[in-house]
Amino acid sequence: MARGAVLGRLAWKIGEITDVIRETPNVASLLIDVPDWPGHLAGQHVDVRLTADDGYQAQRSYSIASAPQDPRVAITVERLEDGEVSPYLVGELRAKDKLELRGPIGGYFVWKADDPRPLLLIGGGSGVVPLMAMIRHRAAADTKPPVRFLYSSRTIEDVIYRQELERLTATGDSLDVRHTLTRAQPPGWKGYSRRLDRQMIDDVAWPAHDSPVAFVCGPTSFVEAAANLLVEHGYDQAWIKTERFGATGG
């Protein structure tokens, strides 16, 4: 994901992998113990750098998936077959391996649980990652503003954090998660079965008169479509924070 940040005061640190969690066939979460980690906000990201034996370096940015209350740093990575970094992170790293990173980075696409406004989250594919940090932050916080989350995936097998989202939704503390599957649906599917459209936004989004705050993350075309639909729904552009990524990198 391309994001702006001021990096002058951030130093590279060596973290240790404590666990690798397989989220989907192509996605894994890395739990990392980072010495002297200063803490982070829900929505921030880190840079990860790999260095080959010949000195060649590749660097990518990954959203932080863990809640600010979690002392570990978690990143969730989707494997891109032609990527330089993601195949190594998803397929090669194991517990006790080391990883070089710096952060936290970013101050715009962040959310704090003490914000009382109704929260709307819209995610496409791996764009769920920073939104999940917000959901986890809320789950661990004392204050719990109401949240609606619209999550678009290709198939049910591609839904990242599926079991955790089901568990958090079942607690009944005003977290409403809606899924749309754009490519294939399992038998008996009761969610949406199409790409984002105005009717879907009208169904899920908080009414404009509630003055909500919205966070949208995913591929560029998805984010632009969602933001435009929210404006059509009556949202002020100042209420909508977006983060997007393209097909490059990995």
Q: Catalogue all structural domains in the chain, each as residue range(s) with its CATH number.
A: 13-105 (2.40.30.10), 119-245 (3.40.50.80)
The pLDDT value recorded for residue 202 is 96
2, pLDDT greater than 90: no
5, pLDDT greater than 90: no
Helix, strand, coil percentages, rounded to 5, for the chain:
25, 35, 40
Query: Looking at residues 49-75, what average pLDDT do you find?
Result: 96
**129 near 76, Cβ under 8 Å?**
yes
DSSP tag of 139: H
The pLDDT value recorded for residue 8 is 53
pLDDT in tens, 186-211: 999 999 999 999 999 999 999 999 99
Query: Looking at residues 233-248, what average pLDDT do you find?
Result: 86
If we measure between CA atoms, which residue out of 23, 6, 225 comes closest to residue 108? 6
Query: Looking at residues 126-150, what average pLDDT do you find?
Result: 96
pTM score, whole prediction:
0.93
